[in-house]
Amino acid sequence: MKTPLLVTRLGPGDLDRLRALNRLFAAAFEDPESYAAAPPSDAYLAALLARDHTHVLVALVGETVIGGLTAYELEKFEQARREVYIYDLAVDEAHRRQGVATALIGELQVVTRSRGAYVIFVQADHGDEPAIALYESLGEREEVLHFDIPV
């Protein structure tokens, strides 16, 4: 019998799952420098997970993290509403094309709708056809430019 998929939002006590998600991100994005070289302290991560406007969702098969996303709510000034930005989303290679990413985004929709969000937005890199196909199946595509401005 196949173990069912569970999608859950992490809280301050879920540090092991968050660290597993960061390892998954490091592998999926081929970026161990960003995700594994200087891991933050437990106190830092617990405080981040305790914030209402920070969302970390993981997809579990049993106790194994097979996917996840991080997202941030942005409160708007023009109206009393929020939009949500998916910062990272990845699924373990062995579990791709099985609806895991769609389930993660679906749960984020439920969580953030209850908090007054009106839209979720996400970036995809040119050439990342699987991500682009997923996001086009769920929403409306916009062509924008992204700029990193140093501080």
The confidence band for 1, taking pLDDT boundaries of 50, 70 and 90, is: low
Helices (H) and strands (E) in the chain, counts: 5, 5
| pLDDT value of residue 116 | 87
The mean per-residue pLDDT over the stretch 51-68 comes to 96
Q: How high is the mean pLDDT of the chain? A: 90
CA 132 to chain centre: 15
The mean per-residue pLDDT over the stretch 47-52 comes to 96
CB 10 within 8 A of CB 56: yes
The mean per-residue pLDDT over the stretch 32-51 comes to 95
What distance in Å separates the CA atoms of residue 79 and residue 81, rounded to the nearest whole number? 6
CATH superfamily, domain 5-138, is Gcn5-related N-acetyltransferase (GNAT) (3.40.630.30)
> Given a cut of 80, is residue 81 above it in pLDDT?
yes
- Unique residue bearing structure tokens 């140093």: 150
